[in-house]
Amino acid sequence: MVEDRSQDIAAMRSRVERIGEYLHLDAKRAEATALEGQATAPGFWDDPSAAQIVMSKAAGLRDEIAQQESIVSDVEEAEAGNELALADDDEEMAAERDRLMADLGKRVVDLEVGSWFTGEFDAGDAIVTITPGQGGLEAQDWAEMLLRMYTKYAESRKWRVDLNDATPGVELGIDRAVFTVHGRNAYGMLQSEDGVHRLVRISPTDEKKRRQTTFAGVEVLPLLPDDIEVEIRDEDIRVDVYRSSGPGGQTVNTTDSAVRITHIPTGLVVTCQNEKSQLKNKDTAMKILRSRLYELKKAARDADLAEMRGERRDISFGSQIRNYVLYPYQLVKDVRTGVETGDVSSVLGGGIDEFVVGFHRWRVGEATAEAVGAGTAAAAAVAAASQATAQAGS
């Protein structure tokens, strides 16, 4: 007998409607229409760069609206499919309904998580840097494993990855990797990965097959839109070109196409060598430098820069955000959220959605609890002041 899923579908419809309210879709429709209307104004395309920013924003809003509308439409299809399956006691139709429900569940989670991204750059692209930490040569192998994991994760989300720089390790792995992830909410989603990642396994290079613990650091920055002002004076940078040592085609490795930019006042160094063109590598390196400088200035507004650097943790034991254990048991566990799984191979193959979504649920929950706590404290203070005033009056 076919199972009735009407309650599950009704709960999903209610959830989608609540998310739609959080997203303020009516306001976004009006904003998208207004932005698109600007394209018909005289002189709009005289500044192609500014025009592109406006149209890109309008397209992003339209994509967000279309995503929610598509889900609403599929919920209605699930309702109709459930009714037909029950009326005809059709197992095949019920199976199709269940497949649609499973797909809807994943898409609703994405929609919900997207509604939590309210930061200025959350919806945009991300620049990710992976650096080996404590663990010697094997930390370089671990860094390469993480690069592969994030590349596979991006592919699963249909995001585009541009490998900007990948310096090979001395004997294995990589000494550093920098890549840009292009896709909706890429920066918002990948903020969950910013921090130290710890791996425990049998050493692949130790003849005695002893257990080894290694670390790698992951840094996630937003790729700044072109309209964000970041001052970089020509006299403050040094540009060096050299022959690429990373992966690439024959031309990449036999010409001085790689670019290294040093920002002299801060000491920041950015390299890019993935393109055959020196000019393209320089352009990409400047974009990465802009993002790093922006984050540095943002941090300086919140605290003294020297103190901030003093508080930064080493890429070593005790500072990790997530543990990946391959031996003596199989487990991946996020230290912050408690999310865990024994399917390590799936995680290392890019299946990290559970951890990414879990982090953002935890983050939003922490922020909500903090806001509630602050509100309760404020209410208590007001009550105490009122009581004191009443006692003074009496």
Task: Return the pLDDT at 394.
Answer: 47
Whether the predicted pLDDT of 260 surpasses 90: yes
Task: Return the pLDDT at 311.
Answer: 47
For residues 105-109, give the mean pLDDT: 90
Task: Return the pLDDT at 243.
Answer: 84
Q: Which fold has domain 6-115?
A: Methane Monooxygenase Hydroxylase; Chain G, domain 1 (1.20.58)
Task: Return the pLDDT at 252.
Answer: 46
Report the share of the chain in percent with pLDDT over 70. 87
CATH value of 126-311+320-339+347-353 in 3.30.200.20, 3.30.70.1660, 3.30.1380.10, 2.40.160.20: 3.30.70.1660
Choice between 353 and 392, residue whose per-residue pLDDT is larger = 353
Task: Return the pLDDT at 309.
Answer: 38
Q: pLDDT per residue over 261-278, tens digit each?
A: 999 999 999 999 988 899
Name the segment(s) of the chain with CATH classification 3.30.70.1660: 126-311+320-339+347-353
Task: Return the pLDDT at 38.
Answer: 93
Whether the predicted pLDDT of 308 surpasses 70: no
Q: pLDDT per residue over 209-245, tens digit each?
A: 899 999 999 999 999 987 788 999 999 999 999 987 6
Q: Which of 49-53, 187-191, 369-373 bottoms out in mean pLDDT, i.e. has the lowest? A: 369-373
> Phi and psi for 251 in degrees, rounded to 5?
-65, -40
Name the segment(s) of the chain with CATH classification 1.20.58.410: 6-115
Indicate the pLDDT class of residue 142, thresholds 50, 70 and 90.
Answer: very high
Task: Return the pLDDT at 316.
Answer: 67
pTM, two decimal places: 0.78
For residues 302-328, give the mean pLDDT: 69
